[in-house]
Amino acid sequence: MLEGPGEPKSKSSPGEDPQQVQQEDQQQTPSKRDNHRSGTPAGVQSLAVLLIELQPNADGPQILAADALYQLGRVEEAYRLLLSIRPTNPRAPILARLALLQLHRGFLYDTNQLLKKLILCGDTSCLRPLLAVAQQKDRALLQGHCHQSAKRILDGTREESGVREAVAYLSIAIMAAGGEAVDSLLGRARCYALLGQRKTAIFDFSAILKEHPKHIQALCGRGFTYLMLNQQKECTQDILAALQINTDLVTKDILSLKDRAQKLVCNWLHQFCRKSLSDIVVSSSVPCHEEQLREAFVIGGALMRTDCRDPRWHLLYVDILLAKGEVKAAGAHLCQVFGQEPRDAAPQARVGVVEAWRQNYRSAARRLSKLTEKDPSIYCASALYQAAAQEASGVSSCGHWDQALCLLTVAVQAVGSHKLQYLRQRAACLAQLGLHVRAVADLDRVIQKHDSSCSDEPQVWAEDLCRRGRSLVLCSREGAALEDFTQALELHRDQALLCVEAGLGRLRVAECFLRGALQHYGEQQLSNAWTLIESGLLVDGENTELRRLRARVKREVAGPCNVN
């Protein structure tokens, strides 16, 4: 440690034990220890004076001397010394010290002017070594002064130049606080967002949330910044976290957004809640536990507060109530918002769900038949699905296939053994309406069950394959259709032939096999051609073209035993 002139020596004498001296130092009174500490700035000041003599034209020693004088409480001397320096470059370290000293002396106007010059220099990092030796009260003064200066700027303008100046003031405030200035970090993050520096804004918001995970303004600020970056998942997570802390405050923040941004936030929250609700209902039995639906209720309530006129938010809230099993409350909300007899299909379908809970199944099925297939919110008893299927049978027998399709869409929401039968019925209905691509999709789900369960019902399996084969032909996918017909003939020949006759007819299916066989023959895939020829002849044994092709294939192979 450097000693000032006339300071007592702290070194031990040659005959003393260093450990004993250390124990004596620890036992000294506070005043004596303070004298030792206060000697440090004096020692630095003495060293700085020596350096000034050695380097009279250098700024560094004079700045060092001014820092030591400041620590010794000789503020006026430090100020005069800094004024006497004729700096070359850079000037920022001198401006920083003059600003701190003027703030210490209470000259706020001078402080403002000096800070502006410092910011114009573009090097506020020179404050870090100064703040490391500054008194705590002066650091607090600097933090408050710079934060208020930034606030005044932002209150007066939002132009880019003004915002950038505010960022500089806020950065000084954050440095003065040692990084713990939450309000200044929040203000700077918002400024960065205004400047389009969104990732930097997220960094500041995250710095706040690291220490204060439930800071609502930081959560909303970061969430809205993610919104500007079109990061749906991250935005939704932050806004939901904030909503769970204080719904009222967050709702006000959402309402303060521009219309487009507000709608996007609400749509993202709605999508998240819909998916979450659907997952809960699939994985748990209805009624669900209140804890499972807590997030959904928070989102539903917030959405209705943002815009009570949007029917989607009310339908979501009704669905949450139904998932919880609060049928009476759901019915009352429906009646209050949409009237006793809603005109639109979606609310009328919810009325159908309420009736299903009350075991009015036939009425419920008719109402739910108006519900589109894309709407997943049907939380009711299995008897409803049976009623919908029975109702569908009645209307389809009269040729009203479109009505039957709506009812069967309700029925296929069922689970268990009945689901496959409802899928078969809907596939048949879709085929009648010429919607063969959708029919194939339903039969895919049915046949997948056969494959996964190693079905011991070859007759039923063969029929499903023939039905899918018919639709595949009608949507121009003959190759896949021939695979289905071939497999069906292998599983149960008689049932497959009955289905072919009832569907496309033997002649047309045989022609499909002929085209497929000719294609393989042209590509010299004789084994594949032979398989299709044999299957085609099983369908129509009198087909002349298939017989001729079989003879041609026989002649081209080494021996008939190679293809049989």
Residues with Cβ within 8 Å of residue 119, at least 6 apart in sequence: 165, 168, 169
Please measure the distance between the N-terminal and C-terminal CA atoms of the chain and give it in whole angstroms. Answer: 104
Residue 482 lies in a domain: no
The amino acid sitting at 65 is A
The verdict on 329 and 378 lying in the same domain is no
Q: Is 458 exposed, middle or buried (0-12, 13-18, 19+ CB in 10 A)?
A: middle
Domain boundary among 399, 415, 433: 433
DSSP state of 309: T
DSSP state of 13: P
The amino acid sitting at 526 is L
DSSP state of 419: H
CB 195 within 8 A of CB 164: yes
* Cα 488 from Cα 496, distance rounded (Å): 6
Residues with Cβ within 8 Å of residue 282, at least 6 apart in sequence: none
Residue 382 lies in a domain: yes
Residues with Cβ within 8 Å of residue 248, at least 6 apart in sequence: none
Structure tokens at 303: 């959405």
- Express the helix, strand and coil content of the chain in percent, nearest 5 each: 75, 0, 25
The verdict on 325 and 355 lying in the same domain is no
* Cα 89 from Cα 155, distance rounded (Å): 35
* Cα 282 from Cα 115, distance rounded (Å): 62
Domain tally, the chain = 2
* Cα 396 from Cα 402, distance rounded (Å): 8
Domain boundary among 323, 340, 357: 340
Q: What is the mean pLDDT of residues 351-379?
A: 69
Structure tokens at 427: 């596939």
CB 99 within 8 A of CB 73: no
CA 338, 343, 346, 347 torsion-angle sign: positive
Query: Any alpha helices (H) in 492-543, and if so which ranges?
Result: 493-502, 506-522, 526-539
Domain hosting residue 298, numbered range: 213-340
Residue 292 lies in a domain: yes
Q: Which helix (H) or strand (E) holds 17?
A: none
Structure tokens at 354: 């309420």
- Greatest distance between any 2 Cα atoms in the chain: 127
Residues with Cβ within 8 Å of residue 342, at least 6 apart in sequence: 334, 348, 351
- pLDDT tens digits, 29-69: 333 333 333 347 656 555 555 555 555 665 666 776 777 77
* Cα 357 from Cα 251, distance rounded (Å): 34
Structure tokens at 37: 């500490």
The verdict on 326 and 373 lying in the same domain is no
Structure tokens at 84: 């006497």
pLDDT of residue 14: 35
The amino acid sitting at 349 is A
CB 235 within 8 A of CB 224: yes
The verdict on 362 and 389 lying in the same domain is yes
- Ranges 40-49, 62-71, 139-148, 167-176: which has the least confidence: 40-49
pLDDT of residue 256: 95
pLDDT of residue 381: 54
Domain boundary among 322, 340, 358: 340
Residue 288 lies in a domain: yes
The verdict on 322 and 369 lying in the same domain is no
Q: How many helices and strands, by DSSP H and E, does the chain display?
A: 30, 0
- Ranges 40-44, 159-163, 454-458, 538-542: which has the least confidence: 40-44
Q: Which helix (H) or strand (E) holds 204?
A: helix 198-211
Question: Does the pLDDT value for residue 27 go beyond 70?
Answer: no
The verdict on 255 and 297 lying in the same domain is yes
The verdict on 312 and 231 lying in the same domain is yes
The verdict on 381 and 285 lying in the same domain is no
pLDDT of residue 54: 55
Q: How far is CA 239 from CA 213, 225, 263, 296, in A?
A: 13, 11, 14, 13
Residue 288 pLDDT level (bands cut at 50, 70, 90): confident
CB 103 within 8 A of CB 111: yes
Orientation of helix 382-397 relative to helix 361-368, angle to 10°: 70
The verdict on 227 and 328 lying in the same domain is yes
**Phi, psi (deg, nearest 5) at residue 415:** -120, 160
CB atoms within 10 A of CB 58: 14
Q: What is the mean pLDDT of residues 149-161?
A: 92
Mean pLDDT of the residues in the chain: 83
- pLDDT tens digits, 435-473: 999 999 999 999 998 876 666 689 999 999 999 999 999
- Ranges 96-100, 266-270, 291-295, 332-336: which has the least confidence: 96-100
Q: How far is CA 446 from CA 166, 413, 463, 564, in A?
A: 65, 14, 11, 33
Q: Is 368 exposed, middle or buried (0-12, 13-18, 19+ CB in 10 A)?
A: buried
CA 512, 514, 516, 518 torsion-angle sign: negative
Structure tokens at 322: 């139904």
The verdict on 336 and 222 lying in the same domain is yes
Question: Does the pLDDT value for residue 413 go beyond 90?
Answer: no
- Ranges 74-78, 310-314, 317-321: which has the least confidence: 74-78
Q: What is the mean pLDDT of residues 478-501?
A: 96
Of 37 and 510, the structure prediction assigns the larger pLDDT to 510
- Ranges 49-53, 128-132, 192-196, 546-550: which has the least confidence: 49-53
Question: Does the pLDDT value for residue 545 go beyond 90?
Answer: yes
The verdict on 261 and 229 lying in the same domain is yes
The verdict on 282 and 265 lying in the same domain is yes
CB atoms within 10 A of CB 541: 11
